[in-house]
């Protein structure tokens, strides 16, 4: 079993756990005594820890030129954090577990991407392989979300987080089968590597696009359930529409990744930005029509898939193995910054100016991200001189 398959299995375990826990976390914190303000503070501090952790894990991976031990440590940390959370009997006990989870998840995301980049280093099918890897994760997330609520109703909320810890322990054990990938003898140029200003190996335009896209997506999705509820949709219908978009993500990521191998990452990234902008207008104009909203959610799935597959591939291929950990960390740091900005501004915009203003602002942010990605294409690319090796 090679690294690609092992990393995919680890990713499946991790996304099942995240899918189980994500819809239930705030409810669980509330049951432990946290009010909405404290819940917001806990979530924000977790993202801040992730911001710092992404850069730290990536720097350490490049400094040591070792990925596997750090990846195992990160997975084990998240497993311990979930077990800690499930055993908590107060919000003061639960809060540190969320900080440990943020630190560990930063390592899982950064080192997982670094290891996948090492694995696909000489492949001519990076985009397609990365898209399949991440798309299967979306399917696992959808399955976890479907099971989580039912498990909580049948057994209890605390048990759910113990199960999540068990999934991450299983992921840790699977990661023990990984092997370190040696750096290639000659560093080869990669496709879609723009010439221009760079920050630690990644173009500033790319990082700006990542932050803007993530801010638009998070600000919109954080308030979308409230918007749909205000327009008369039931919780069942809201969750069903969300699940539809998640199901579309898997084929969208595979197709987008394959397309990026042919036309370049920048064009597919821009399509992801314009797609998410189009979704915001769909929410504004078509909310009264359920059949039309089904179409909007399909577009959302493809917009998310196009951005995600192409951005992960781009971050993992630029700079070579010596910089891959730092680049992966920087990519995830830009995403975490966008996530933090989106989570902070979404509710504030709705409170101050209403849902329509929120979606218009998010559309503008998404278009700006697409422009950043298009400018990458205009800066020029280096030729591909890789040897075709399948993952």
The reply to whether 133 and 240 lie within a common domain is no
The reply to whether 227 and 323 lie within a common domain is yes
Q: Does a structural domain hold residue 387?
A: no
In degrees rounded to 5, what are phi and psi of residue 199? -125, 110
What is the C-alpha to C-alpha distance for residues 210 and 314, in angstroms, rounded to an integer?
11
**Residue 40, domain CATH:** 1.20.1250.20
Based on its alpha-carbon atoms, the radius of gyration of the chain, rounded to whole angstroms, reads 20
Q: Does a structural domain hold residue 48?
A: yes
In degrees rounded to 5, what are phi and psi of residue 202? -105, 140
| DSSP secondary structure, 314-372, as one string | HHHHTT-HHHHHHHHHHHHHHHHHHHHHHHHHHHHHHHHH-HHHHHHHHHHHHHHHHHH
pLDDT of residue 102: 93
The reply to whether 216 and 159 lie within a common domain is no
User: What would the mean pLDDT of 308-325 be, rounded to a whole number?
Assistant: 83
The reply to whether 102 and 213 lie within a common domain is no
Q: Does a structural domain hold residue 168?
A: yes
What is the C-alpha to C-alpha distance for residues 131 and 95, in angstroms, rounded to an integer?
34
Q: Does a structural domain hold residue 269?
A: yes
Q: Does a structural domain hold residue 342?
A: yes
Give 36's pLDDT tier (boundaries 50, 70, 90): low
- Domain finish residue from 140, 175, 210: 175
- Domain finish residue from 121, 140, 175: 175
Report whether pLDDT(307) > 70: yes
Largest Cα–Cα distance of the chain, in whole Å?
61
The reply to whether 112 and 13 lie within a common domain is yes
The reply to whether 10 and 157 lie within a common domain is yes
Q: Does a structural domain hold residue 272?
A: yes
Average model confidence (pLDDT) across the chain: 84
User: What would the mean pLDDT of 90-100 be, rounded to a whole number?
Assistant: 94
Least confident of 81-95, 291-305, 311-325: 311-325
The reply to whether 243 and 350 lie within a common domain is yes
Q: Does a structural domain hold residue 264?
A: yes
Strand partners, 199: 202
Q: Look at the alpha carbons of 10, 104, 220, 29 in this order and tell me if their dihedral is positive or negative.
A: positive
The secondary structure of the chain in percent helix, strand, coil, rounded to multiples of 5, reads 80, 0, 20
| Among the listed residues 166, 199, 201, 149, the one whose alpha carbon sits nearest the alpha carbon of residue 324 | 201
pLDDT of residue 234: 78
Stronger pLDDT, 142 or 72, i.e. the higher one: 72
The reply to whether 157 and 218 lie within a common domain is no
CA dist list (Å): 345 to 225, 254, 349: 16, 32, 6
pLDDT of residue 12: 94
Stronger pLDDT, 240 or 199, i.e. the higher one: 240
The reply to whether 207 and 242 lie within a common domain is yes
User: What would the mean pLDDT of 325-349 be, rounded to a whole number?
Assistant: 86
Could you give the percent of the chain with pLDDT greater than 70?
90
Structural domain span for residue 338? 198-378
The reply to whether 165 and 206 lie within a common domain is no
| Among the listed residues 16, 92, 69, the one whose alpha carbon sits nearest the alpha carbon of residue 246 | 16
Stronger pLDDT, 233 or 57, i.e. the higher one: 57
Stronger pLDDT, 95 or 27, i.e. the higher one: 95
Report whether pLDDT(95) > 90: yes
Q: Say if CB 175 and CB 75 are below 8 A apart.
A: yes
- Domain finish residue from 175, 206, 234: 175
In this structure, how many other beta carbons lie within 10 angstroms of the beta carbon of residue 368?
Answer: 18
Stronger pLDDT, 17 or 37, i.e. the higher one: 17
The reply to whether 104 and 161 lie within a common domain is yes
Could you give the percent of the chain with pLDDT greater than 90?
37
**Tens-digit pLDDT profile for residues 342-355:** 888 887 888 788 88
Report whether pLDDT(382) > 60: no
pLDDT of residue 100: 96
Give 149's pLDDT tier (boundaries 50, 70, 90): confident
**Tens-digit pLDDT profile for residues 168-226:** 999 999 999 998 776 444 444 444 444 445 555 688 999 999 999 999 998 888 778 77
pLDDT of residue 198: 52
pLDDT of residue 391: 42
Q: Does a structural domain hold residue 307?
A: yes
The reply to whether 273 and 163 lie within a common domain is no
Domain count for the chain, please give it.
Answer: 2
């Amino acid at each position: 079993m090679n690294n690609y398959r092992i990393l995919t299995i680890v990713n499946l375990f991790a996304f099942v756990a995240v899918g189980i826990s994500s819809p239930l976390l705030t409810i669980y914190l509330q049951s432990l005594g946290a009010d909405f303000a404290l819940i917001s503070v806990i979530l924000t501090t977790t993202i801040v820890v992730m911001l710092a952790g992404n850069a730290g894990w990536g720097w350490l991976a490049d400094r040591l030129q070792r990925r596997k031990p750090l990846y195992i440590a990160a997975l084990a940390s998240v497993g311990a954090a979930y077990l800690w959370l499930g055993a908590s009997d107060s919000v003061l006990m639960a809060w540190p577990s969320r900080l440990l989870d943020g630190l560990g998840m930063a390592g899982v995301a950064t080192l997982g991407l670094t290891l996948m980049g090492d694995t696909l280093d000489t492949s001519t099918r990076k985009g397609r392989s990365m898209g399949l890897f991440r798309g299967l994760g979306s399917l696992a997330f959808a399955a976890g979300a479907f099971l989580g609520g039912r498990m909580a109703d049948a057994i209890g909320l605390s048990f759910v987080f113990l199960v999540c810890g068990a999934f991450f322990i299983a992921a840790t054990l699977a990661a023990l089968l990984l092997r370190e990938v040696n750096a290639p003898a000659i560093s080869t140029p990669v496709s879609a590597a723009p010439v221009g200003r760079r920050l630690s190996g990644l173009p500033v335009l790319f990082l700006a696009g990542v932050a803007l896209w993530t801010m638009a997506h998070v600000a919109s999705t954080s308030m979308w359930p409230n918007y749909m509820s205000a327009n008369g949709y039931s919780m069942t219908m809201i969750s069903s529409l969300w699940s539809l978009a998640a199901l579309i993500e898997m084929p969208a990521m595979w197709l987008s990744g394959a397309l990026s191998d042919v036309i370049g990452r920048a064009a597919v990234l821009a399509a992801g930005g314009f797609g998410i902008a189009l979704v915001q207008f769909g929410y504004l104009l078509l909310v009264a029509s359920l059949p039309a909203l089904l179409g909007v959610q399909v577009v959302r799935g493809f917009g998310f898939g196009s951005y995600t597959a192409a951005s992960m591939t781009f971050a993992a291929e630029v700079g070579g193995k010596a910089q891959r950990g730092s680049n992966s960390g920087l990519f995830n740091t830009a995403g975490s910054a966008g996530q933090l900005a989106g989570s902070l501004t979404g509710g504030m915009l709705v409170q101050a100016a209403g849902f329509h203003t929120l979606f218009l602002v998010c559309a503008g942010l998404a278009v700006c991200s697409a422009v950043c990605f298009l400018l990458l294409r205009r800066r020029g690319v280096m030729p591909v001189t890789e040897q075709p090796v399948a993952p």
